[in-house]
Amino acid sequence: MAEMIAGPRGPKPRRAFSTPNIVLYGTLIVVAAYYALPLYVMIVTSLKTMPEIRLGNVFSPPVEITFEPWVKAWSSACTGINCDGLSRGFWNSVWILIPSVILSIAISSVNGYALANWKYRGSEFFFAVLMIGAFIPYQVMLYPIVLVLKNIGDFLSIFSLAMGMGKVQVYGTLSGLVIVHTIFGMPILTLLFRNYFSALPEELFKAARVDGAGFWGIFFKIMLPMALPIFVVAMILQVTGIWNDFLFGVIYTKPEIYPMTVQLNNIVNSVQGVKEYNVNMAATLLTGLVPLTIYFISGKLFVRGIAAGAVKG
């Protein structure tokens, strides 16, 4: 009996600073610092004056904080064509973003719903090709899409001219870019919605059919109210994706309506004049601000979006 009383008793002692823990947290903190560094560099550089940048290095904190570079980046930085800063690109991006997000989500959600609940002969085939198509390098399709957009414009012009209005331009305009974003957003969004609607209980769908609701009735009255989280996920995905797009913006729009990323690149990589690193970093940070804000606000939903889209693919 005595030995039993003398032995270890009660909860096992835990040491917060065990060697594995120090290694684990140490590594994580170092890696985290590395990942955070570029953001830090952007911020400090954008708050320094040019003389100060020339004296120090990229990591040194600002001695004298100035917001001049931000003002300049926003309203008067030069792209080589004009000198009204990033503000033009910002608003262009906003005008590209709103219709593209709405149209792509509207089309893909209904499509995903049809694929999940109203399968028809060939629906699985088209879905499979859609998924494969997501892996085709954009470069393969870029040029023919220019022709397709021109043809759509010419086709619509027949009607608009007949009605006494001007010629319709699709290629090189906002509408063309919206179409392109809708097309290339379709695979991932359709997958997202199809998987979500497939995971809802099938009996709910059956019950609604017995209750006499049709394709649209079930979509709007039963499915939509249940799918709000996935709509938020899709929105996060699309807003960041379209905002960050560079390729389509360059190809399918004209300089007056270039999105913010294209304009940013033109400002920073323009060969004329003296490099103003502080303005460049302010501009870079401004362009990254929209997706970063969404990312930090949405948190888990962002993760869910990329995980759902990727894992089940």
63 to 102, contacts with another protein by CB under 8 A?
none
Q: Which stretch binds another protein (CB under 8 A): 66-74, 76-84, 168-176, 274-282?
A: 274-282
232 touches another protein (CB under 8 A) = no
- CA dist 184 and 103 (Å) reads 12
Over the window 23 to 62, marking each residue x when it contacts another protein by CB under 8 A and - when it does not, the resulting string is -xx-xx--xx-xxxxxx-xx--x-------xx-xxxx---
211 touches another protein (CB under 8 A) = yes
93 vs 169 by CB, closer to another protein: 93
206 touches another protein (CB under 8 A) = yes
Min separation Cβ 80 and another protein, Å: 14
Min separation Cβ 259 and another protein, Å: 10
1 vs 261 by CB, closer to another protein: 261
193 touches another protein (CB under 8 A) = no
111 touches another protein (CB under 8 A) = yes
Buried b (16+ CB within 10 A) or exposed e, 172-211: bbbbbbbbbbbbbbbbbbbbbbbbbbeeeeeeebeebeee
**Restricting to residues 138-167, which ones interact with another protein according to CB under 8 A?**
138-145, 147-148
**81, 132, 158, 161: which one contacts another protein (CB under 8 A)?**
132
188 touches another protein (CB under 8 A) = no
273 touches another protein (CB under 8 A) = no
**94, 98, 158, 310: which one contacts another protein (CB under 8 A)?**
310
115 touches another protein (CB under 8 A) = yes
**Restricting to residues 235-254, which ones interact with another protein according to CB under 8 A?**
240, 243-247, 251
CB 97 within 8 A of CB 239: yes
Q: Which stretch binds another protein (CB under 8 A): 73-81, 106-114, 157-165, 166-174?
A: 106-114
91 vs 216 by CB, closer to another protein: 216
**Mapped to the 3 state alphabet, what secondary structure does the chain carry?**
CHHHHHCCCCCCCCCCCCHHHHHHHHHHHHHHHHHHHHHHHHHHHHCCCHHHHHHCCCCCCCCCCCCHHHHHHHHCCCCCCCCCCCHHHHHHHHHHHHHHHHHHHHHHHHHHHHHHHCCCCCHHHHHHHHHHHCCCCHHHHHHHHHHHHHHHHHHHHHHHHHCCCCCCCCCECHHHHHHHHHHHHHHHHHHHHHHHHHHCCHHHHHHHHHCCCCHHHHHHHHHHHHCHHHHHHHHHHHHHHHHHCCHHHHHHECHHHCCHHHHHHHHHCCCCCCCCHHHHHHHHHHHHHHHHHHHHHHCHHHHHHHHHHHHCC
201 touches another protein (CB under 8 A) = yes
Min separation Cβ 304 and another protein, Å: 9
Min separation Cβ 165 and another protein, Å: 25
